[in-house]
């Protein structure tokens, strides 16, 4: 902030501290990113995207882009506690998913972009979302990168991508040195393993890039993610192989349709169910990993992770913590009780003190509300 001759307090702009030294500029950006709320931050130069598919090429958004900044935002381990215990599912979807993606992370990337643009360089903020993307969620390998949706959009001119392009955020995080891509296709960071959401910034300021992650091995192909994914979305043997910044990267082929169902707690059936049995569509019922008769409403736009990332995050995290390879270490292990399964073929056993909605509350004759009627 600075003051004008009239005493007005205004935001300082026009600083030149990013103009001459990419190393110092990168250090300043990282300090600011951490101060604004990112949990880790890395930088990649645009040359690392030289073989990106057109629909995933950052230069299609910002042709003069020189640097990409990737930030990891941790998912609190505690936000997964309620799902692990099977009693409080909404916190992970709200505070560990949608709230980070659509609230916390946008504020951080926007404010870091302000810091850069105050110094005369363009900066484009991207949170975890790519809601208008023109390609679907699949990734078909080095020669593709998702299939273009039919009759969705068209290029505005020859040589341009069809709007909107999608920056592959996990690959961006890898190319900025934040961590490695595990067998599950999840970004694994040395701090938090798979407990991350990723935000990126494209900018035309030259920043010194970080090296590609080459620290302690995180994914050891233990296949815990494959074992615990309730819909079998993560292949054990079929893989995608890419060349990223001169390094060979390999991860599992993921069945995105099965992942989307498992993520929401849905099990696919081979017939159309009656309305009262439908979970989220005529051909889905609640899976054994969901306690809800119907899929609950989304929280913060996309928060609907009823499955609690059972294989790709929780199983992976349990294994990484067991091996002691994560910097964010805890006093107690995460998994302390046998994992639960919902038996939808048996009658539910509710706590003895539970009163069902619509049942009369038995009072003491005084006319006062009973204890079970105290909830608004």
Q: Which tops the pLDDT comparison, 83 or 1?
A: 83
Give the residue carrying structure tokens 């899976």: 287
Task: Please provide residue 178's backbone torsions phi and psi, each rounded to the nearest 5 degrees.
Answer: -75, -25
Q: Is 180 helix (H, G, I), strand (E, B) or coil?
A: strand
pLDDT in tens, 272-303: 999 999 999 999 999 999 999 999 999 988 88
Q: Over the chain, what is the mean pLDDT? A: 91
Task: Report pLDDT digits (tens) over 194-215.
Answer: 999 999 999 999 999 999 999 9
The pTM of the full predicted model, rounded to 2 decimals, is 0.90
Say yes or no to pLDDT of 68 above 50.
Answer: yes
Least confident segment among 128-142, 210-224, 293-307, 359-373? 359-373
pLDDT of residue 376: 42
Instruction: Name the DSSP class of 323.
Output: H
pLDDT > 80? residue 179: yes
Contact 161, 155 (CB under 8 A): yes
Compute φ and ψ for 169, nearest 5 degrees. -70, -35
Tell me the pLDDT band of 178, cut-offs 50, 70 and 90.
very high
- The number of angstroms, rounded, from the C-alpha of 51 to the middle of its chain's C-alpha atoms is 24
């Amino acid at each position: 902030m600075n003051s004008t001759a009239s005493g007005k307090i205004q935001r300082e702009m026009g600083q030149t501290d990013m103009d001459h030294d990419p190393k110092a500029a990168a250090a300043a950006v990282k300090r600011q990113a951490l101060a604004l709320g990112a949990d880790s931050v890395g930088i990649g130069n645009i040359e690392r995207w030289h073989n990106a598919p057109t629909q995933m090429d950052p230069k299609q958004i910002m042709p003069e882009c020189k640097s990409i900044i990737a930030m990891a935002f941790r998912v609190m381990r505690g936000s997964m506690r309620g799902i692990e215990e099977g009693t409080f599912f909404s916190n992970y979807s709200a505070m560990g998913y949608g709230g980070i993606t659509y609230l916390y992370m946008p504020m951080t990337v926007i404010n870091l972009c302000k810091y850069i643009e105050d110094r005369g360089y363009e900066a484009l903020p991207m949170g975890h979302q790519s809601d208008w993307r023109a390609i679907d969620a699949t990734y078909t390998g080095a020669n593709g990168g998702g299939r273009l949706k039919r009759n969705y959009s068209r290029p505005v001119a020859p040589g341009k991508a069809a709007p909107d392009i999608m920056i592959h955020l996990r690959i961006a995080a890898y190319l900025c040195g934040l961590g490695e891509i595990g067998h599950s296709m999840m970004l694994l960071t040395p701090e938090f393993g798979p407990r991350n959401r990723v935000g990126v910034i494209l900018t035309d300021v030259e920043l010194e890039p970080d090296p590609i992650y080459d620290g302690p091995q995180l994914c050891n192909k233990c296949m815990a993610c494959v074992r615990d994914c309730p819909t079998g979305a993560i292949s054990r043997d079929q893989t995608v192989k890419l060349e990223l910044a001169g390094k060979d990267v390999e991860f599992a082929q993921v069945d995105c349709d099965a992942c989307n169902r498992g993520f929401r707690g849905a099990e696919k059936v081979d017939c159309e169910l009656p309305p009262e049995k439908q979970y989220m569509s005529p051909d889905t019922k609640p899976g054994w990993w969901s306690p809800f008769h119907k899929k609950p409403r989304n929280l913060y736009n996309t928060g609907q992770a009823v499955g609690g990332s059972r294989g790709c995050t929780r199983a992976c995290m349990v294994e990484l913590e067991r091996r002691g390879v994560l910097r964010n270490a805890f006093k107690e292990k995460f998994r302390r009780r046998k994992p639960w399964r919902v038996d939808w073929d048996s009658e539910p056993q509710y706590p003895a003190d539970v009163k069902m909605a619509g049942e009369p509350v038995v009072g003491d004759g005084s006319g006062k509300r009973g204890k079970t009627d105290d909830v608004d």
